């Protein structure tokens, strides 16, 4: 009798174990350690602050290549340019509507709670000067539009400006699209480059605990726990407002339009939220959001257009922050704004925030610029926000990130570029995201169905 045949399953190479849970556990420990060190040893806490800056800079270094590869592959592999235009147009319209909704919610909460009443901001006047300068350097709306066009094709990948990388990627994607089958070798080359980019990115992410420790230790050392307590009302109100916006407004819209639970989507993106909280930057999770939205079942073209565009135009958390911070300062200075002034100033800010999107401390810079243009006598009040801005930036970043994740699912639903059955499987944990996909299993070979005319 012949020997028993070994089942084919046993012959397969063993699946690589997911070690990333150690990474995110280490991030949590690093954040807690940073708080303790910043509190008990403020001198040392300030000295390690650059670790957080270096880590965020490493992440930002990879943003332009990720956007370029994703959009070129998404657009270049689709033969219908009108499809990309329809997705982009719908995304921009949605972003404008949701930014307005975010402003309105922040306006209502600020007028109801009046968190700045009774505070004296005169002692912090000098702190505002830096952010006024940043706002001035950011330029106005026209400067923002002119800055979209880079000096050269290559500079769009080295300037660190998301919109320039987006603009050039669109040109290259449509160019390859117009080449037809002759452009397939170029697509394969970009796909190979994308694999390299994700491998480098994964290597960088293992430094997240070091970056998180340095950033948290520095901010606690500089502000102290007492500074946080003094402005706890504003912080709590802002966090609650962001939660209401994400789980109320976005959650209801997501359920009504796509039949998807916001709670399941948040659970699916839990690791990305942890990374954002550790770095106070939604950019740190942008590459992972792109990968996870594709895994969720949204077509690559839609993900490639909506996610990068949303990072510059869909700033829901920033809009809420600008609203509440403005009302807080006006109340704290004893010079509250009337409704006409509120609407005029905040409409200015939602436009200006696009121009300051690439500026470090963009929220504060935009806030200072708006007050300087409309109510310069309130400008001195910006300084008091400096002490807690680092803590509020987590809520801003998480809300911006959530808005972009929800937008991707909604735009995919409205343009019929999402697999609803796969969405249910993924969110029900029947088809979990493979962390190795970020490096080892990211597709290089283009599927034939992506290369035929739509």
Q: How far apart are CA 233 and CA 337, in angstroms?
A: 20
pLDDT (average), residues 57-75: 75
- CB 116, CB 330: distance < 8 Å: yes
298 pairs with which residues across the strands? 418
Q: Above 50 in pLDDT, residue 88? A: yes
Q: For 119-159, what is each residue's pLDDT tens digit? A: 554 444 445 555 555 555 555 556 667 777 888 888 877 77
Distance, CA of 319 to chain centre: 14
Q: For 282-300, what is each residue's pLDDT tens digit? A: 777 888 899 899 999 999 8
pTM for the predicted model, two decimal places: 0.64
Residue 453 pLDDT level (bands cut at 50, 70, 90): very low
Q: For 9-31, what is each residue's pLDDT tens digit? A: 444 444 455 565 677 678 778 87
Range among 193-197, 208-212, 408-412 rated most confident:
408-412
Residue 411 pLDDT level (bands cut at 50, 70, 90): very high
Q: How far apart are CA 60 and CA 309, in angstroms?
A: 16
- CB 408, CB 257: distance < 8 Å: no
Q: For 264-284, what is each residue's pLDDT tens digit? A: 999 999 988 988 877 767 777
């Amino acid at each position: 009798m012949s020997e028993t045949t070994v089942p084919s399953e046993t012959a397969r190479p063993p699946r690589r174990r997911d070690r990333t849970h150690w990474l995110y556990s280490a991030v949590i420990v690093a954040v807690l350690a940073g708080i303790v060190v910043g509190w008990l040893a403020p001198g040392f806490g300030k000295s390690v602050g650059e670790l957080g800056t270096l880590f965020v800079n490493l992440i930002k270094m990879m943003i332009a290549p990720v956007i370029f590869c994703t959009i070129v592959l998404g657009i270049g592999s689709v033969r219908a340019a009108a499809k990309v235009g329809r997705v982009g147009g719908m995304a921009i319209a949605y972003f404008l509507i949701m930014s307005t909704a975010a402003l309105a919610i922040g306006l209502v909460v600020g007028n109801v709670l009046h968190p700045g009443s009774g505070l004296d901001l005169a002692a912090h006047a000098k702190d505002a000067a830096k952010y006024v300068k940043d706002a001035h350097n950011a330029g106005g709306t026209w400067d923002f539009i002119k800055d979209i066009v880079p000096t050269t094709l290559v500079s769009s990948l080295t300037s660190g400006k998301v919109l320039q990388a987006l603009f050039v990627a669109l040109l290259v994607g449509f160019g390859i699209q117009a080449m037809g089958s002759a452009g397939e070798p170029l697509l394969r080359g970009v796909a190979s480059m994308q694999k390299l980019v994700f491998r480098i990115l994964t290597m960088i992410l293992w430094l997240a605990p070091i970056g998180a420790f340095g950033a948290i230790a520095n901010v606690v050392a500089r502000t102290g726990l007492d500074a946080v307590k003094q402005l706890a009302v504003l912080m709590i109100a802002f966090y609650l407002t962001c939660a209401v916006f994400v789980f109320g407004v976005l959650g209801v819209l997501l359920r009504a339009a796509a039949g998807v639970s916001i709670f399941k989507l948040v659970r699916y993106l839990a690791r990305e939220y942890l990374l954002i909280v550790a770095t106070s930057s939604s950019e740190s999770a942008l590459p992972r959001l792109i990968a996870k939205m594709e895994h969720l079942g949204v077509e690559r073209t839609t993900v490639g257009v909506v996610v990068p565009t949303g990072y510059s135009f869909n700033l829901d958390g920033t809009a809420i922050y600008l609203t509440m911070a403005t009302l807080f300062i006006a109340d704290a200075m004893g010079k509250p704004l009337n409704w006409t002034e509120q609407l005029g100033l905040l409409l200015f800010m939602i436009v200006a925030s696009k121009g300051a999107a690439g500026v470090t401390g963009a929220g504060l810079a935009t806030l200072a610029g708006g007050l300087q243009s409309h109510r310069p006598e309130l400008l001195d009040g910006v300084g008091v926000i400096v002490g807690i801005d680092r803590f509020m930036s987590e809520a801003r970043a998480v809300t911006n990130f959530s808005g972009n994740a929800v937008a991707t699912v909604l735009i995919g639903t409205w343009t019929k570029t999402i697999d609803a059955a796969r969405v249910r499987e993924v969110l029900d944990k029947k088809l979990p995201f493979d962390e190795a996909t970020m490096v080892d299993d990211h597709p290089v070979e283009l599927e034939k169905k992506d290369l035929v005319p739509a």
